[in-house]
Amino acid sequence: MTLTKQEWKTLEDKAHSLRKLILDTTRCAGGGHIGGCLSIIDIMTALYYKEMHFDPKKYDDPDRDRCIVSKGHAGIATACLFSDLGLIDPAELKSYNKTGSRLNVHLDSKKIPGLDASTGSLGHGSAMALGMALAAKMSNRSYKTYVLLGDGECDEGSVWESAMATAHFKATNLITIVDRNYNMIDGKTEDVMSLEPFADKWAAFGFDVKVIDGHDFRQICDAIEYAKLAQDKPVVIIANTVKGNGISYMAGNYKWHHGSIDEEKYTIGMNDLEKYHQEKLALIEKEGK
């Protein structure tokens, strides 16, 4: 196991504070894509606080790792994380999605330091990430590129075109992670456009496939460590997650793709997040080493 008990707890605490910030920011903004933010925040926490070579103070270092959150509607998750990293003033989060703010629903990489791409039109992140990965190879740079895709996003043909090219060019320095929350904007993925057998499809496109629990930091970090060592085939990590993870009335419900938070929902949400975190801490106590 890659993570020590202390590292696991540090990540769990960080994700907990980010989940609360996501709920806060969604409330302030008058609404947001909170379901898909809560499904990826553990993965993003593991990336930026443990796995990526990324120093926010040196965000312009050409050798630092790259990360593209291709499901750009999860901008609140990225904005909250970047504010925690010191790349966005925390006070600015209150302006998210307000007229005149530089924090658009879909974040603009020209305005946010350290943000590697503007995303929001689904299906483009994997091709951009492949370009960055190939650029690293051509210029003999050691950075890795990560791309985080939504599962509903994989309905886009362009995801599979870039998957084909990633395997063809043996771009093992590109690590693809799919947020498999089984939900999209207006239904369950399997009802809207069935993806299964999803892992087999990635394997058929030439990937080494790891299926994990995307809310278990041990599995997230182990899978990323594994992917970093890829030599022959690129790795895709299919992270099984829960849309709206941690909040009772949202969890697993596509209707919380986008929503607004009134006082009652805020109070219940905060209590749920506290309870969720306590359960995680109990698990760390029991199984951490």
Ligand X SMILES: Cc1ncc(C[n+]2csc(CCOP(=O)(O)OP(=O)(O)O)c2C)c(N)n1
Look at the block and give the residue holding tokens 């919380």: 256
Asked whether position 180 contacts ligand X by CB under 6 A, the answer is no
Quickly list DSSP for 154-213.
GGSHHHHHHHHHHHHTT-TTEEEEEEE-SB-SSSBHHHHS---SHHHHHHHTT-EEEEEE
From 227, 213, 214, select the one nearest 51 (Cα to Cα): 227
Nearest approach, Cβ of residue 59 and ligand X (Å): 26
- In the range 55-84, which residues lie near ligand X by CB under 6 A? 71, 73
Stretch that binds ligand X, among 14-22, 52-60, 178-186, 230-238 (CB under 6 A): 178-186
CA distances from 171 to 113, 122, 199, 202, 254 (A): 26, 21, 19, 15, 33
Nearest distance from C-beta of residue 269 to ligand X, angstroms:
17
* Residues in region 204-263 near ligand X by CB under 6 A: 243, 257
Query: One-letter amino acid identity for 132?
Result: M
The CB-nearest residue to ligand X is 150
Q: Can you tell me which of 84, 153, 208, 216 binds ligand X, judged by CB under 6 A?
A: 153
Residue in 39, 162, 166, 172 binding ligand X, rule: CB under 6 A: 39
**Cβ-based nearer residue to ligand X, 27 or 71:** 71
Among 58-66, 175-183, 205-213, 221-229, the segment contacting ligand X (CB under 6 A): 175-183
- Which of residues 136 and 247 has its CB atom nearest to ligand X in the complex? 247
Q: Which is nearer to ligand X, 71 or 210 (CB)?
A: 71
Q: Which two tokens stand for residue 24?
A: 């806060």
**Contacting residue, 75, 114, 125, 150, with ligand X by CB under 6 A:** 150
Amino acid (1-letter code) at residue 279: E
List, in sequence order, every beta strand (DSSP E) within the chain.
Answer: 66-69, 145-150, 174-180, 208-213, 235-240
Residues that bind ligand X (CB under 6 A): 35-36, 39, 71, 73, 120-123, 150-153, 179, 181, 183-185, 243, 257
